Structure 1
Amino acid sequence: MHTLYTCILYNLDTFVLYIYLYTFPVPSYAKCLVGGLAIVIGWPSAFLPACGPRCPRKVDLSLVPSCAVLVLLKLASSSSTSVHDLHHVSRLASSLLLLAALVRANSHDHAAADHNLRAQRLAKKQDGARVFNLVDSAEGPNFFDSWAFMTFDDPTHGLVQYVDRDTAFAKGLAYVRDDGIAVMRVDNTTWLADGQKRNSVRIHTAKSYGQGLFIADILQMPYGCSVWPAFWSNGANWPAGGEIDVIEMIHNSTSNQSTLHTTPGCHLDTSRYNPDPKQHISAKTFTGQVVTTNCDAAVDNNVGCGIRNDDPSSYGFGLNGAGGGVVAALWNEDGIRIWHFARANVPADIDAKTPNPDTWPAPVAFWSTDTCPTSQFFTDQSFIFNITLCGDLGNGSFNEYDCPGTCSAWVMDPAHFRTAIWKVKYFRVYQ
């Protein structure tokens, strides 16, 4: 009558507990209690006595002692329970109480271990995601303190005369508004003879930077027939130091193009193209349209390897109409990535000065080190804002953008340049 029902071996840390369960004339309470405990600690159901439909699905361990006492009282009050049965019941209850104590202790140990494991995983995740620190910022009343004004002839042969700092401020071509917004523009008051150069601005960061995250908040950018603006960077001894064009197009374009220019050997990896903007950065892909793949500045008149962003809010009239936007360039061991965020979609971590590109959507442009090792083709970069007119890119494409006449004749009229203006909230460097 008191045959061995089953033997359950359960390892609780350094404890090995053998529990012998016997069948009883009135077994339901004991079986129910054991079944509930088994559910809590995860014993395989095949090793357990069958539980009736009245058994709970889960037993709170804090109730185990009272449940064990209840089993004893119920069995003791039964007229069919013998003294010998009570002896085995007491053994069962004692075992259950011991088991409950061990399970509780073990559960606390496991909870602590789980907490430590979660903390370790979180720390590992935080270690894996690079933390960017703000190292330089050009914004507010002192925006132009971080820049040098260039006065050399435009290397792209544009019809502009870049002016120095004093001239730019005196003529209203560069200034900071009362709200801290930096303004750079082309002269829009002077009539010129055909072929004469118009005053404009080209500024370079006073410092050059190695790998890092570079972010600019742009409220308004230049556009219009003959207008060729750019926000870009280059290294020393171009093209040996490389060039990164973040924003650049011409005339009344409705799309932006980002391009690299290098010495021979750097190419765009077109297999990285994937149009889904919801990709994670770890996918190492990009969403823009491939234009050209050879980054060599000596090939095809220096077209470079370009990626086009067809989002109208990425350039010119569309960007201005959207309230501006934010562009970010990340240069690291993986390669070079570029993002454009319309004003309504700027990540909160950018505004908070705690940028985390790991959480951003896929970039519009990505040049992988697999086909263009950046350490080989890029040296420290100086960032540049400029506005040129016509030039190598603008002359031949003038009529393609529904611009009338010739580019040089267009430059004569100052009224054509009311929209040839940069308005920049900040430029920040994180490393």
Structure 2
Amino acid sequence: MLYDSGFLISSLLVLQLIPNAAALLDFLKFDHGRFSRRADSFKAFDVNPNGSTFLWVPQDEYAGKNFFDGFGFYDGADPTHGMVNSYLKRQSYVNASTAFGEGLAFVRDDGVAVIKGDDTNWLADGEYRKSVRISTYAQYNTGLFILDTNTIPWGCGKIIPWAPLYIHSRLSSYMAGVLDAGLRELAIRVHDNQHNQVAWHTAPGCMLNPNASFTGTVVQDGGTNNTDCNGLINNNAGCGITEWSRASYGPLFDQQGGGVVAMKWDENGIAVWSFFRAAVPQDIVANAPNPSLWGEPSALLMPQECDPIQYFKNHSIIINITFCGDWAGNSYATSGCPGTCAERLKNPANFANASWNINHLRVYRKQLFNGHVSAAVPLTVSPSLVGMATLIMGWIVSLAYLGL
């Protein structure tokens, strides 16, 4: 029996590379049933404005019993001048041993990471309350950041930055970080407010376009939109957007099971979304996120008005809880909260909701398929991706040989 060598070689190539196709599917973490149910809308691949194809691939995950391994505990002075306290000095956060020893940072048996302020001790007049501030050892230059949390701290007298909890360059001083490398506050509200606020603080020259496509409302000062993100003016108010949903922060966020806050930072701009629990997109649940499927973001900083590569670099992720401070303290009198911020600080019962309960924090990097990648993001090619590409070429060769 005679065999055509070209057909035989291409057929063997296809058979040999089928396992690589399976590896690609596993790499994308597609569940067959889940994929078939959402075949009309669920896809992992995305397209840049220049036409290049890419997907977001996992880079770092902070979750479960190892959640705190990727974070350092900051025990220095609070740059926002909050009424936090450690054993050593006022207006400072507690160190790791105190946080773990006193139950201010721990991982529950179900894998949920808890970060909280002291909610057990009564304070004397003038005494400050213990709290925690942690930041990632890793620094990031672009990425997709997704926080899944069951609760976000809220209540009178508290100011809670997230950034994706609150993200800025780890430089020698707070203001140096703001001016040199930008600052993002992605989940930050005070008191009993029910709407999350996103803010940017940068060097001069970065502007927020109020006409961009986002669902939130530009923060105003005296009836004027705060569109200049310059941290050197307006008492470092920066530029900000308030989310429309009452479930984006506060008691409603907690009562319906929390949700997801996501930030996409690449050469195309910085966009922020928040989803209450029942509305979390399935591609996020499947660990194959595709922001192009999520609709308009809550907040958006466009590259035409603020270059996201120039104004933001070498950023760490910070999670913290502070009390009173520059924003919450100054706005307390008009917040509708009782008494004064310092008075409310004394009663531990006021801080029953001052905690994060985090399922995971995931960071993804952009993987392009045309051999190029956005600034500061290294290109690595998965063997399974190479295998899939070769498999497709094998099919093409076979079909071409058969004249199909």
Instruction: Give TM-score scaled by structure 1 length.
Output: 0.67
User: How far 1:165 moved relative to its partner?
Assistant: 1.1
Number of residue pairs matched by the alignment: 298
Aligned to 1:148: 72
In the TM superposition, 1:286-305 aligns within 5 A as 286-291=214-219, 292-305=226-239
Residue 125 and residue 315 in structure 1: after superposition, are their counterparts in 2 closer, same or farther (change >3 A)? closer
- Deviations along 1:180-203, one digit per CA (max 9) or x if unpaired, are 000011101112122321100001
Aligned to 1:275: none
User: How far 1:310 moved relative to its partner?
Assistant: 2.4
Aligned to 1:86: none
- Deviations along 1:77-123, one digit per CA (max 9) or x if unpaired, are xxxxxxxxxxxxxxxxxxxxxxxxxxxxxxxxxxxxxxxxxxxxx99
The 8 Å contact of residues 223 and 317 in structure 1, kept in 2 or not, is answered as yes
SS at match of 2:235: coil
Equivalent residue for 1:202, pick from 117, 133, 138: 133
The 8 Å contact of residues 71 and 135 in structure 2, kept in 1 or not, is answered as yes
- Deviations along 1:262-290, one digit per CA (max 9) or x if unpaired, are 01110101121xxxxxxxxxxxx211101
Residue 317 and residue 125 in structure 1: after superposition, are their counterparts in 2 closer, same or farther (change >3 A)? closer
SS at match of 1:376: coil
The residue type paired with residue 214 of structure 2 is: F
User: How far 1:385 moved relative to its partner?
Assistant: 0.7
The residue type paired with residue 270 of structure 1 is: P
Worse overlay, 397-406 or 377-386: 397-406
User: How far 1:399 moved relative to its partner?
Assistant: 2.8
Residue 194 and residue 358 in structure 1: after superposition, are their counterparts in 2 closer, same or farther (change >3 A)? same
Aligned to 2:188: 248
The residue type paired with residue 202 of structure 1 is: R
Aligned to 2:210: 270
Worse overlay, 399-408 or 205-214: 399-408
The residue type paired with residue 148 of structure 1 is: G
Equivalent residue for 1:419, pick from 343, 353, 365: 353
Aligned to 1:238: 177
The 8 Å contact of residues 195 and 409 in structure 1, kept in 2 or not, is answered as no
- For the residues of structure 2 that align with 1:337 and 1:130, how far apart are their CA atoms? 17
Residue 141 and residue 267 in structure 1: after superposition, are their counterparts in 2 closer, same or farther (change >3 A)? same
The 8 Å contact of residues 347 and 360 in structure 1, kept in 2 or not, is answered as yes
User: How far 1:400 moved relative to its partner?
Assistant: 2.0
Equivalent residue for 1:374, pick from 308, 313, 323: 308
Aligned to 1:5: none
Equivalent residue for 2:157, pick from 219, 226, 236: 226
The 8 Å contact of residues 161 and 320 in structure 2, kept in 1 or not, is answered as yes
Aligned to 1:389: 323
The residue type paired with residue 360 of structure 1 is: W
In the TM superposition, 1:33-52 aligns within 5 A as none
User: How far 1:357 moved relative to its partner?
Assistant: 0.9
Residue 130 and residue 411 in structure 1: after superposition, are their counterparts in 2 closer, same or farther (change >3 A)? same
**Is 1:322 aligned to residue 256 of structure 2?**
yes
Structure (1 or 2) with the larger CA radius of gyration: 1
- For the residues of structure 1 that align with 2:298 and 2:52, how far apart are their CA atoms? 23
- For the residues of structure 1 that align with 2:331 and 2:211, how far apart are their CA atoms? 30
In the TM superposition, 1:330-349 aligns within 5 A as 330-349=264-283
User: How far 1:124 moved relative to its partner?
Assistant: 9.9
Aligned to 2:344: 410
- Deviations along 1:215-273, one digit per CA (max 9) or x if unpaired, are 0001011111101111110014311110011100100001110010001110101121x
SS at match of 1:226: strand
The 8 Å contact of residues 150 and 204 in structure 1, kept in 2 or not, is answered as yes
Aligned to 1:261: 201
Residue 309 and residue 123 in structure 1: after superposition, are their counterparts in 2 closer, same or farther (change >3 A)? closer
The residue type paired with residue 197 of structure 1 is: Y
Aligned to 1:56: none
The residue type paired with residue 247 of structure 2 is: S
The 8 Å contact of residues 287 and 364 in structure 1, kept in 2 or not, is answered as yes
Equivalent residue for 2:292, pick from 343, 353, 358: 358
Aligned to 1:131: 55
Unpaired runs of at least 5, structure 2: 1-43, 86-92, 220-225, 366-404
- For the residues of structure 2 that align with 1:124 and 1:199, how far apart are their CA atoms? 44
The residue type paired with residue 198 of structure 2 is: S
Unpaired runs of at least 5, structure 1: 1-121, 273-284
- For the residues of structure 1 that align with 2:246 and 2:337, how far apart are their CA atoms? 19
SS at match of 1:392: helix
- Bigger helix fraction: 1
The 8 Å contact of residues 129 and 358 in structure 1, kept in 2 or not, is answered as no
- Deviations along 1:150-202, one digit per CA (max 9) or x if unpaired, are 00111111001211111101100000000000001110111212232110000
The 8 Å contact of residues 194 and 411 in structure 1, kept in 2 or not, is answered as no
Instruction: Give TM-score scaled by structure 2 length.
Output: 0.72
The 8 Å contact of residues 218 and 242 in structure 2, kept in 1 or not, is answered as yes
Structure 1 runs of 4+ off > 2 angstroms? 122-130
- For the residues of structure 2 that align with 1:315 and 1:174, how far apart are their CA atoms? 21
Residue 259 and residue 351 in structure 1: after superposition, are their counterparts in 2 closer, same or farther (change >3 A)? same
User: How far 1:125 moved relative to its partner?
Assistant: 6.2
- Deviations along 1:122-141, one digit per CA (max 9) or x if unpaired, are 99969744211101000011
- Deviations along 1:400-429, one digit per CA (max 9) or x if unpaired, are 222111111111111111111110000001
Aligned to 1:307: 241
- Deviations along 1:35-65, one digit per CA (max 9) or x if unpaired, are xxxxxxxxxxxxxxxxxxxxxxxxxxxxxxx
**Is 1:398 aligned to residue 325 of structure 2?**
no
**Is 1:164 aligned to residue 95 of structure 2?**
yes
Bigger RCO (CA 8 Å, 6+ sep) = 2
Q: Percent identity?
A: 42
Q: Aligned-pair RMSD on alpha carbons?
A: 1.7
The residue type paired with residue 138 of structure 1 is: Y
